[in-house]
A and B are shown apart, each in its own frame.
Chain A
Amino acid sequence: MNIYESLCDIIGGDYVSRQAEDLYIYSRDSGTQPPRHVDYVVMPKTVEEVRHILMLANRERIPVTPLGGGFTLSALVVPHKGGIVMDMKRMDRIIEINELSRYALIEAGVSQAALRAYLKKHHPRLQHSTPEAPPTVTIVGNALIQGHGHLTPRYGLHSDMINGMEVVLPTGEICKLGSSALSPSWYARGPIPDLPGLFIGWFGTTGVVTKLSMKLYPRPHYREVLVFSSDDIDAIPEVIFETTQLDLLEDFFLIMQEKPDWMNHIFYVVILSAHFEEELAMKMRAFTNLCNKTGNGNTIKVVKDLHPALRTRFLDVPPKAAVAADFRKGGGFQYSAAILPFDKVPAIWRKGIEIAHKHDMIASYVHQVLTCHSIMFSFNYSFNRADNNDIEAARQAIDESNRFTLDIGGMIWKGEADAQKLVMEKMDPGTANLIRKIKKTMDPNGIMNPGNWEVS
């Protein structure tokens, strides 16, 4: 049996493809990275199928790239060395919602949309933290890249919300991590060695996650948005500090776009939620007072009469961010994202504008504050997919943004292969060596998404 026949034997011919059309689609994403070759696409339905595919790939030394929604925009799911793209979307069961312990046990292909709709219908008092990404992206793909969503400012990154996982190692072993290693319940991650960390932030290079337990949170009755505007870039760290110091907000992000003119300011968007009307009113009052006090009332101003469309955009979970991202109206978008301490924001804010102008683009920002400790700063580059020069300009702008991020002591989030190379070059040699050792131990034949986190 050849590889194709073996794959068909494992999961049935309907869900294996080596046809040019399918390979074309899976060989590229919506970002700026050039297409790369794919040999097979498979869509397993069960953990046993995943296991058999990995054992086959390991035996034959064929690369395997796990794919959720495929929407990092940095082509993390486009193989560098060909092989099998494992599209997880058929593993789409919501296995358990535990109301009392507030977690959802899901399979790897469950989308943000599916969990959201399911909770709304069956468990309306609970919610999960949802990214602004298109609704078809997966919970697992997003959590594994340390994604962030509307509850992140309050509760942390999505990777922090993981209670446990079921994983298939490249060598075919199936392991349960977290409380599920000891009990049928998936309610907690520790206190045992923190093995989920072996799969978080690794871009699919250590194994395939087949199930994941994600924390759920109470869904309050009321949500409201308060927006401050400002033109004082240097005051940003102080405003973020004071706003998070109140410890009362649900979501908190900063936006700016040079065009149209009315958007060309720093907007602080604070989302407040509450179980009671009085509670909401109190929170609104507290933040309005904060605004009036900061810099003697001169640094930030409350935006009155917020346009209804903006109010919807801010309060929608998830918002239709893809439309805003396509501000060049050319179907292409990628962003370079930096995780930074607050004090670095003024410098990177100015640099981002400089980079955009250098490439004849308008600067556009959406940055989310991650709990009260750091910020996810994104340089947004919208481009025209029909114009190769435009794509190249965006690619260069991303590279320059990545380099600056590292120069000022930031960390690049979900970077494409070139960005990962920059990170590895800068990394403490002991740490880089540990990464190499872990990869070698877990994936002796280097079949898992090779080309990512490579140590030279």
Chain B
Amino acid sequence: MKYDDILHRCFRCGYCKLTDDYEDFNCPPYRKYRFESFSPGGRMWLIRAWQQGDIQITERFQKILYSCTMCANCVEHCIFPFSDDLANIFIAAREAVTEEGIIPPTVRDYLKSIHAYGNPYKEPAELRGAWADGSPVPVYDGHEYLLYIGCVGSYDERGQLIARAVANILCKIDVTFGILGEEEICDGNEVRALGETWLFDRLARKNIERFKARNIKKIITLDPHAYNTFAGDYKNLGADIEVHHYTQILADRMDSLIPSLKECTATVTYHDPCYLGRHNGLYEEPRSILAALPGITLVDMASNRRNALCCGGGGGNFFSDVLGGGRESPAKIRIDQALDTGARIIAVACPQCAKMLEDAIKAEDREDRLEVADIAEIIERCLG
């Protein structure tokens, strides 16, 4: 397996489970299960044990491996020089497990759907652009930007609302963009995170071909997951693209929006999506947008930026749910952290985070105290 020359170097010292100030455990599966085997170091040792034949691919081993949300808290906090490789090591282990053909059923279902339908919802490609029906959003035709929506924004009802809000605001500030609609296919970020490298490679190359064929050079993504793979993996595969998350575009052009905004009084806290924050260092752009909105008071949760707790949906868990729910699930803890700030709105910049957190609010019966809204939706409210 890739990285097998590093595995033994983990000391199991546990810095990787913590935040900067050591105040909280911040590895979602460790925080939920509490057995050392679910910590990043435990994972390192178990992957090595499996490589050496000391343990087998059991259901428990799969749970340990696939409950990792690829949130990169360990990448940020491990104190050893190999820290940058940690999430990739966990992906490499999933890759090796996939090669053995023994993967959790929910992961298999997800991958099968992507393979067969190009999306995890088993929906036809023709419906991929349906979220934009009735809106002035054009199909890409040589525009400056492609707005890439991704599977959740395209098919999930909640995701579609966010997609419409983002598109609406981009129109408002005169960004010239188009979408691929039914021609869009899955970006593959979760496929890669789940270790299905062959399928990821196919998706990525197909996407790159499409971008090339349409001479697409600049992409705005709705979803930080797509941003992550486009800006990293796709470029490594030779894609000649400039990639932006929509919050970067908005943060740059707030001046043109501000005159049309009305005062919208609310206390808001912001949840950093892992694929925007820890994976790509984009912490300030979303905050600068919120801070510029008239009437909005922005308060950070105690765990923020590189110390933010993942919503639990990363690394494929949004679809596979290997990590699972329950009182100790990260989304529920995150809700409590948001409530601690006194905010009434938890702002997100990712449709997957939006769903995860919203489900947690419902499960906890906190709808009267906290609401999830994408940054684009908050702007829309200020637009009146």
Contacts and interface: CB of A to CB of B under 8 A. Distances in A.
A427 interface: no
A121 interface: yes
Contacts of B33: 14
**Which residue, A118, A322, A333, has most C-beta atoms of chain B within 10 A?**
A322
Interface residues of A, number: 44
Interface string A174-206: 000000000000000000000000000000000
A135 B18 contact: yes
Contacts of B13: 30, 71, 134, 136, 322
- Size class of the contact patch on chain B: 20 to 34
Interface in B11-33: 11-15, 17-18, 21-23, 33
Interface string B18-50: 100111000000000111110000100110010
A43 B8 contact: no
Contacts of A296: none
A322 B17 CA distance: 15
Contact of A120 (B21, B37, B61): B21
Contacts of A43: 34-35
Interface stretch (B52-60, B126-134, B284-292, B348-356): B52-60
A112 to B, nearest CB: 8
Contact of A117 (B14, B22, B35, B54): B22
Interface stretch (A20-28, A268-276, A337-345): A20-28
29 contacts: A20-B56, A20-B60, A21-B46, A22-B35, A24-B49, A24-B54, A25-B46, A30-B13, A69-B14, A87-B35, A90-B34, A114-B22, A117-B22, A117-B23, A120-B21, A134-B15, A135-B14, A135-B18, A135-B22, A320-B79, A322-B15, A323-B80, A326-B9, A330-B8, A331-B9, A331-B10, A332-B11, A333-B11, A385-B8
A113 B17 CA distance: 12
Nearest to B4: A386
Contacts of A30: 11-13
Interface in A1-40: 14-15, 17, 19-22, 24-26, 29-30
Contacts, number: 100
B345 interface: no
A135 B46 CA distance: 22
A384 interface: yes
B274 interface: no
Contacts of B79: 320, 322-323
A25 B9 contact: no
A194 to B, nearest CB: 32
B64 interface: yes
Given A135-B22, A330-B9, A19 B60 contact: yes
A51 interface: no
Given A21-B64, A329-B9, A331-B8, A41 B35 contact: yes
Contact of B55 (A14, A24, A90): A24
Contacts of A116: 22
A214 B273 CA distance: 39
A26 B49 CA distance: 13
B18 A22 contact: no
